[in-house]
Structure formats: C-alpha cells, structure tokens
Amino acid sequence: MRPTLSWTPTGEPSPGTTDLAPVAEALGGGGVLVLSGAGISTESGIPDYRGEGGSLSRHTPMTYQDFTADPAARRRYWARSHLGWRTFGRARPNAGHRAVAAFGRHGLLWGVITQNVDGLHQAAGSEGVVDLHGRLDRVVCLDCGSFSPRRELAWRLEEVNEGFSPVAAGINPDGDADLTDGQVGDFQVVPCTVCGGVLKPDVVFFGERVPPERAEHCRALVREARTLLVLGSSLTVMSGLRFVRQAAQAGRPVLIVNRDPTRGDRHALTRVALPLGDALTDVAGRLGVPLDERAPTETQPPAGPGA
C-alpha cells in the first residue's frame, strides 16, 4: 500500500481567520505543545510539500519500500539527496523558528514536536525538540545499525563522484533535489564503513513507521500539555494528525496556524491563515517576548569540497 501523500478536503473548506488573539491567549497561559510542519521552514528557503507550489506537484518522495528493495532507487536517491544537501544543509532559522525558541525560553511551551528533518528549531535555540521524522544530518546503516554524521558521508560521496554538479530544478522538503535520470548518470553510492552495509539517512521515509518509543513520548507530551498549537502543517499524514485527534478527544484545545486548510481543521478551535513568521512575531510582541535577533547558528558544518 502506498502511503498517503495528498488529501482533498470534502465540502467547502474554511477560509480561516486572521485573528491571533486565541493563539496569544493560549501561549500567555503556558503549557503549549507546538507541533510544526514544513510550512514553518518555507521562509528559510525550504519548500513545503502541499502548499501553493508545493513539491508534490512535481516530485514523488522516496518510500521506504522502494529504498530498501531497489538498488537503482537508492542510487537515484543518494545522487539527488547529495546535491540537495549542499543547499539544504545551509538553511538558516527564520522568524518563526526564533519565535518558537523565544516562547520556550520564557517558559510558555510544554514542548516542541516537529515533523521536519531540517534541525532549524534547534539551530534557533529551541531545546528538547522531538524530531518526529528524524534528522537529515545523521546517517544510519540498515545492516549493523551504526550511526555517522551526514557531513562525513558528504565528503565520501564527493571523493567518488568528483565533478558531480548538475543543475537541479528545485529542492524538496526532504533535501532531495529534482534531477532527471540522465542527470543522475552513473553516480556511485558508498557503503557503511563499519560493515559494508546499506546506508540510509536517519529520517522516517514515507511508508515507514515512526519508532514506537518516539511516538509514545509524543503521546505523553500531548497528554500533559494544556494546548496543542500546530504550526505550518497540512496534517495530511497520520504521524501528525493522530496527535491532533488525541488532543481533541482529551478535551485539549487545538489551535492551527497554516495558510491553507488542513486535515485537522475540524478538530481545532481556530485556524489562523497567516504567514507564520509574521504571525508568530506579532504574537511575541503582544506577549512582550523578545526574539533573539542574533545570527543563527549553522545547522551543519560545510558539506564538503565543492559545496
């Protein structure tokens, strides 16, 4: 069975509101659990999947089943991901990430769960972030289970694919660059340095399960939070939607800030249809929470020569 990649609202979709008062009130009361999606990183230059111009209109993400079953699919993936990493690994936090970090520093948050794999919440200063779908800056061997930094793999791939620099049509939220098979060419994949096994980014691919212990930790955070605040997620995939359903069933208020309708709108008290950076900066101002305007830290060291 192919994973759910798209969702079409039934009936007349709600246009949303521009009233940020409920969001400011919830954050002012503390105990807010943030659930963020790709929409919070678009202002950092990382496109989302399903918004206007989203990458799913031109790109089908790699599935776990294809990656593990087909060596040719792995080769295409690593060629595209290696090229995309040169851009993706240098993305910087935006005002939305900085606002979330500021709310955390002021004790207004119960926690942060992100569906993103870019590490930008941590780069902005947020602590204790749960990376629901993993992190693209780490690599795991599917045979021996050993982990290694993505920057080391980038160096190794540069060495065996000297001069590989095709022009991509775009970069996707998972760091995958849009390349044709012709551009992929004879790109070479490298094995695990420990056992010679198959390497995979330490992220949850479409069609793959979130590790049970990580999912349970998120469920515990939802149980203990006062409010669930969804930022920039369409909630199309069940890995995020289930926490919205859990909160609503437990009587916890659910607030959503997302420009487009989401699969969780019917469970929410309100959906604010505003750009996240502006919206969260506005809320921070209302609450007297200063954003840290210092230059954000790099999410990654340089990817390697030629990057």
Give the start-to-end residue ranges of the domains of the chain: 21-287
Q: What is the pLDDT along the chain (307 residues), one digit of tens a residue?
A: 344 445 456 666 677 999 999 999 999 999 999 999 999 999 998 877 545 544 444 457 789 999 999 999 999 999 989 988 877 778 899 999 999 999 999 999 999 999 999 999 999 999 999 999 999 999 999 999 999 999 999 999 999 999 888 877 677 767 778 887 888 888 999 999 999 999 999 999 988 999 999 999 999 999 999 999 999 999 998 889 999 999 999 999 999 999 999 999 999 999 999 999 999 999 999 999 999 765 444 444 333 333 2
Task: Write out the two tokens for 198.
Answer: 């198959």
Whether residue 223 contacts residue 245, with contact meaning beta carbons closer than 8 Å, is answered with: no
- Residue pair 37/47 in contact by the 8 Å Cβ criterion: no
Rounded Cα–Cα distance for residues 272 and 23 (Å): 9
Q: Which of 121, 133, 217, 267 is catalytic?
A: 133
pLDDT of res. 13: 65
Q: Could you tell me which residues are annotated as the binding site for NAD(+)? A: 37-57, 115-118, 232-234, 276
Residue 267: active-site member = no
- Residue that has been written with the tokens 């999410």 in this structure: 299
Q: Which residues pair with 141 in a beta bridge?
A: 199
Cβ proximity of 84 and 172 under 8 Å: yes
Q: What is the pLDDT of residues 193-248, one digit of tens each?
A: 999 999 999 999 988 999 999 999 999 999 999 999 999 999 998 889 999 999 99
Spell out the CATH class of 21-287: alpha beta
Sheet holding 254-257, edge to edge: 130-131, 109-114, 32-36, 227-231, 254-257, 270-272
Taking the CB of residue 98, how many other CB atoms lie within 10 A of it? Answer: 26
Q: What is the pTM of this model?
A: 0.87
Tokens for 204? 């949850």
User: Which residues, in sequence order, are CB contacts of 193 under 8 Å at separation 6+?
Assistant: 148
Closest CA to 278 of 226, 229, 232: 232
Q: What are φ and ψ of residue 5, in 5° steps?
A: -110, -20
